[in-house]
Amino acid sequence: MEYRTENLGKSYGEKQIFCHLNLCLKEGGVYCLMAPSGMGKTTLFRILMGLERADEGRLIGFEKVRFAPVFQEDRLCMGLGAVKNVRLVRPELSEETARRELLQLLPADSLNQPVSEYSGGMRRRVALMRALLSAGNFLLFDEPFEGLDEKTREAAIRVVEQKRQGRTLLFASHYPEEARALDARIIDFLSAIPERQDQSSG
Amino acid sequence: MESRRVRLVKKAAILLFWLVLWQGASLWVGRPIFLVGPWETLAAILRLSGTGAFWHAVLSSLARIGFGFAMAFCGGLFCGSLAYFWPFFGEILSPVVTLMKTIPVASFVILALIWAGADNLSLIISFLVVFPIIYLNTAAGLQSADRQLLEMSRVYRVKCLDRILHIYRPALAPYLVSACQVALGMSWKSGIAAEVIGTPEYSIGENLYMAKVFFTTDELFAWTAVIIALSFLFEKAVLLLLKAAARERP
């Protein structure tokens, strides 16, 4: 099984975000998408998830995909604690299991505090755990380790390795060492778009 | 704690200052028909509250205005939600709501008096005044729901009920609280005004009207104080309920 994008193109009005974008991802693979900011990674992710339509091209093989995203923003329900935020996307997960899993990345006394009282790094970890514990079969992370210090970043990477459970993972990052740590194949966003390459070299 | 006590003492002192001023003014005027003092008002309240007719009037006015408010709250919440999820319905309803907002209460009172008679007048008026406020604020509150969270819930296929409880409800709550703070006071003021015009039997408005007819200014003041107290308690109770319904358990 493969997931492919074929000549994908998107522009907002006059401003072209990307065009002729061709990606090929193997089911169960780990991929790290690397590109400077503002190249349209987030837009690509939105198109993959069906939150936005591409102007050109098509998606192949995504019919049965259930995405488990970590958005660029944390997008948590601020009035709820970590456990309830996780169980919102995975109600069949018992409270105990959710709690046990969350304890890998979060202090015990925080779990039933509203997320609004968490630090930025803690929120990021909840967003990450939510994706990993969800029923999705395609993990799509937009700079998932942003805002984490070195120690929690390592812990988060270990949890991703352990909870990925054979699912496809595509994540955006600026740091090659994150790709190495997760043994990810690096996709250079620029080389996936021939025209961009022409522009930048010319 | 200390500063809180100081604030309380300050508030009490200010209240006392105005009460003394009021008493002084009534003594200076010297004619209770024009201005009764706080003592006479209190005496009139105590005298009135000993009678069955007082409680009958209080309860039936409270029931009418309260029921009108409750119906308008539920109706406004329902129609406002419908208008948010189905904008065409909102467009259909929009001229009606605009009319309800702009028609003077007095015109409504006369119309309702002709159509429905005096008995349920304050119920209808309370409904008509409250409905557009709740309706518009419901639509605006739902509109303010976090787009990003809604996208998240779509991708994760969060259950409909959970979306309502944890994304729409927190967005709606502050809008409904401020809408109720406005609507509660207005429902009492316009409801009682309607009763004064329609003078239905056993109502606060009828008693106000009688106080005017017989120049019993102390009873006018007493009923006014009762209305203020009822309106205050009603507001506190509704807001307490509303806040309990909006509270999220983390």
Q: Does B248 sit within 8 Å of A80, measured CB to CB?
A: yes
Whether residue B90 sits in one domain with residue B25: no
Identify whether residues B210 and B195 lie together within a single domain.
yes
Q: Looking at chain A, which residue has its C-alpha nearest residue B161?
A: A88
Tell me which residue range forms the domain holding B21: 1-30
User: Which DSSP letter does residue A186 get?
Assistant: E
Residue B197 has a CB neighbour count (10 Å cut-off) of 20
B199 shares a domain with B110:
yes
Asked if residue A201 has pLDDT above 60, the reply is no
Q: Which of residues 178-207 of B touch A (CB under 8 A)?
A: none
Which chain A residues are within 8 Å of B250, Cβ to Cβ? 79-81, 84, 112-115
| Domain CATH for B141 | 1.10.3720.10
> pLDDT (tens digit, 9 = 90+) per residue, B210-221?
999 998 999 999
Q: Which of residues 162-181 of B touch A (CB under 8 A)?
A: 162, 166-167, 170
| Reported pTM | 0.88
Q: Is A80 on the interface with B (CB under 8 A)?
A: yes
Residues B74 and B140 in one domain: yes
A51 CB neighbours in chain B (<8 A) are 151, 154-155
Contact status of A69 with chain B (Cβ, < 8 Å): yes
Mean pLDDT of B13-26: 94
Torsion sign, CA atoms A33, A36, A39, A45: positive
Q: Are residue B118 and residue B9 in the same domain, yes or no? A: no
The reply to whether B56 and B137 lie within a common domain is: yes
Residue A70, pLDDT above cutoff 70: yes
**Taking the CB of residue A118, how many other CB atoms lie within 10 A of it?**
20
B167 neighbourhood in chain A, CB within 8 Å: 77
- Residue A37, pLDDT > 90, answer no
Which among B228, B132, B146, B139 is positioned nearest to B182, based on CA atoms? B132
- A77 contacts in chain B (CB < 8 Å): 149, 166-167, 170
Neighbours of B214 (CB within 10 A): 10
* Alpha carbon distance B110, B118 (integer Å): 10
Total of domains in chain B: 2
Length of chain A as a residue count: 202
Which residue from B minimizes the CA distance to A87? B158
Residues B188 and B237 in one domain: yes
Q: Which residue of A has its CA nearest to B167?
A: A77
Instruction: Reply yes or no on whether the pLDDT at A198 is more than 60.
Output: no
Q: Tell me: do B19 and B73 sit in the same domain.
A: no
Backbone conformation region of residue A75, classed left if phi is above 0, alpha if psi is from -120 to 50, else beta: left
pLDDT tens figures, A133-148: 999 999 999 999 999 9
Are B83 and B3 within one domain? Answer: no
Measure B74 CA to nearest chain A CA, in Å: 25
The answer on B167 and B117 residing in a single domain is yes
What's residue A202's pLDDT? 33
B190 class by beta-carbon count within 10 Å (0-12 exposed, 13-18 middle, 19+ buried):
buried
Contact A80 B157 (CB under 8 A): no
A81–B250 C-beta distance less than 8 A: yes
Look at A71 and B166 and tell me if their CB atoms are within 8 Å.
no
Q: Hey, what amino acid is at A8?
A: L
- Check CB contact under 8 Å for A77 and B167: yes
Residue numbers in B near A113 (CB within 8 A)? 250
Q: Are residues B41 and B11 in the same domain?
A: no
Contact state of A88 with B156 under an 8 Å Cβ cutoff = yes
Question: Vertex B16, ends B15 and B19: CA angle to 5°?
Answer: 90
Write out pLDDT tens, residues B177-195. 999 999 999 999 999 999 9
- What is the rounded average pLDDT of the residues B57-81? 96
Is the predicted pLDDT of residue B1 greater than 60, yes or no?
Answer: no
* B19 and B72 inside one domain: no
